[in-house]
Structure formats: C-alpha cells, structure tokens
C-alpha cells in the first residue's frame, strides 16, 4: 500500500511540475534564449499545444505577415496552421489552415479563409468576405450584419501584436467568422522579469469572449502572455472553453 501511495504521490508531483513548466513565462523565455541566442525577434512563431497544460496534442504555426496585392490594393496576408501530434496520428489525423487578408489602414480583415480536415469527416472550407465600410460580411453568398472593425482570429492576434500596452490597459474587439457577433473584452497588466541579469517586459492579457446576444452558453476565456518588444510576441496562449483547458507554448521563432 505504501508503494502504491508513493508512486501515486510521485506521479502527481511530476504532473504538477510539467504543468508549471509548460505554462511558466520565465521558462519559455529561457528556452527561447537558449535556442535563439540573446536576441528574441518576431517572425514565424511555432507553438506546442497541450491539453490541461500537460499532454502534448499538437503544434501550431503563426506565420509572419507578408505584403501582397488583393483586388488592386496592398494588404497584409497572414497565415496559420495547426495539426495534431504524432502520438494521435495512428488513430486520426487533423489539421487546419487559416488565411487572413487585412487592409493596411485600419488593420481590419477583408477576407478570411479556413480549411479543416479531420479523418472520417467531410472537409470544411469557408471563405468570409468583409465589407467593413457597410458593416456586412458574406459567407457562401449569405450576407450578415457585423459591427465596426470586426476581426477574424488571425487579424485579432495581429492587432494585439501591434498594440502599445504601455498606454492600453483595457481593450474591446468585435469578432465574427461564421454567423453571430462576438465581443472580446480584456484587461492588461504589465510586469518586468529578470532572466540571466537581463530585464524583459511582459504583458499579461486576460480576456473573455461572449456572444453579443448575451447567450450564457457561448463563452470562453483566453489568457495571453506577451513579450513586449518592437511588437508584442505571444509566448503563451491559454484557452478555457467548453470545460476544456488548452494552452499553446511558444517553442521556436524563425
């Protein structure tokens, strides 16, 4: 009985340590310094995704923005990908690709593309067109009313990366990529941390996402830890939705 209790206690301690390690900003920055040298600069961001901060379930990549031409105007093109880990690839495969085209004045999306492929299910492909002037979005020819400066997931992150959190302490943003209008509301706290005798400026963003119609069944919480530099680098993203906790830990910058 004592051996069983000892093993159980050891396993619990190990899981607590792994959970702390995978969600600790100081550890994440230390690993990036070790991998990339003293200077950490933005670029293509690669994340490892964990369930309950312990179990690795996949990886995600946020590409650096490109400047392209779309319908006669220059826009920012953002892209992101995500796929499940090799551990689960024997049972099923899943991956997603996201693309966002953002006009360069107000930094609002004009086109959002999403593709989701899961073994055993029909592929999902969606294109969302935004008319930000007339507050209309269109999906497969169906037009819906949206709110001013409505964002998609990639443009939302892009805007957060370019905010000055020395001045901004609260934020509110509109989101819609499907049918209903959502609102993201959050507060920001800044803090300095010292690693290897160098000071790094960190912003902690705590947000909630709710439907504008105040439905109590469509809510989630998102926490983002950002390393403040010329632009903010999301080093840790935690999402709590539908009773599940997912966190994405930055592991590499290209």
Helix ranges, the chain (H): 2-22, 25-36, 86-89, 153-161
Contact criterion met (CB below 8 Å) for 212 and 181: yes
What's the mean pLDDT when you consider all of the chain? 87
Those residues with Cβ within 8 angstroms of residue 194's Cβ, 6 or more apart along the chain or in another chain: 200
In the predicted model, is pLDDT for residue 119 greater than 70? yes
- Choose between 1 and 135: higher pLDDT: 135
In the predicted model, is pLDDT for residue 88 greater than 80? no
Cβ burial 104-138 (10 Å sphere, 16+ → b, else e): eeeebbbbbbbebeeeeeeeeeeebebebeeeebe
- Choose between 225 and 22: higher pLDDT: 225
- Choose between 79 and 14: higher pLDDT: 79
- Residue-wise pLDDT for 159-209, tens only, equals 999 999 989 999 999 999 887 899 999 999 999 988 888 889 999 999 999
Domain limits, the chain: 2-253
- Residue-wise pLDDT for 102-117, tens only, equals 999 999 999 999 999 9
The answer to whether the predicted template modeling score (pTM) of the entire model surpasses 0.75 is yes
């Amino acid at each position: 009985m004592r051996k069983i209790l000892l093993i159980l206690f050891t396993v619990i301690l190990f899981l607590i340590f792994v959970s702390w390690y995978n969600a600790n900003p100081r550890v994440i920055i230390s690993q990036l310094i070790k991998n990339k040298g003293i200077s950490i600069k933005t670029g293509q961001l690669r994340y490892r995704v964990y369930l309950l901060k312990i179990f690795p379930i996949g990886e995600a990549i946020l590409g650096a923005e490109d400047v392209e031409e779309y319908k006669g105007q220059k826009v920012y093109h953002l892209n992101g990908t995500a796929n499940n880990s090799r551990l689960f690839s024997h049972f099923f495969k899943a991956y997603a690709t996201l693309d966002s085209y953002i006009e360069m004045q107000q930094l609002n999306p004009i086109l959002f593309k999403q593709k989701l492929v899961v073994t055993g299910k029909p592929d999902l492909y969606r294109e969302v067109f935004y008319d930000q002037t007339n507050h209309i979005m269109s999906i497969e020819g169906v037009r819906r009313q949206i709110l001013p400066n409505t964002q998609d997931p990639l443009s939302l992150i892009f805007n957060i990366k370019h905010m000055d959190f020395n001045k901004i302490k609260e934020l509110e943003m509109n989101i819609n990529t499907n049918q209903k209008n959502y609102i993201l509301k959050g507060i920001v706290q800044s803090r300095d941390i010292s690693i290897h005798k160098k000071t790094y400026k960190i912003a902690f963003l705590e947000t909630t996402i709710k439907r504008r119609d105040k439905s109590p069944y469509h809510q989630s919480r998102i926490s983002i830890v950002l390393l403040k530099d010329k632009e903010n680098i999301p080093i840790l993203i935690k999402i709590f939705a539908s009773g599940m906790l997912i966190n994405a830990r930055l592991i590499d910058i290209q």
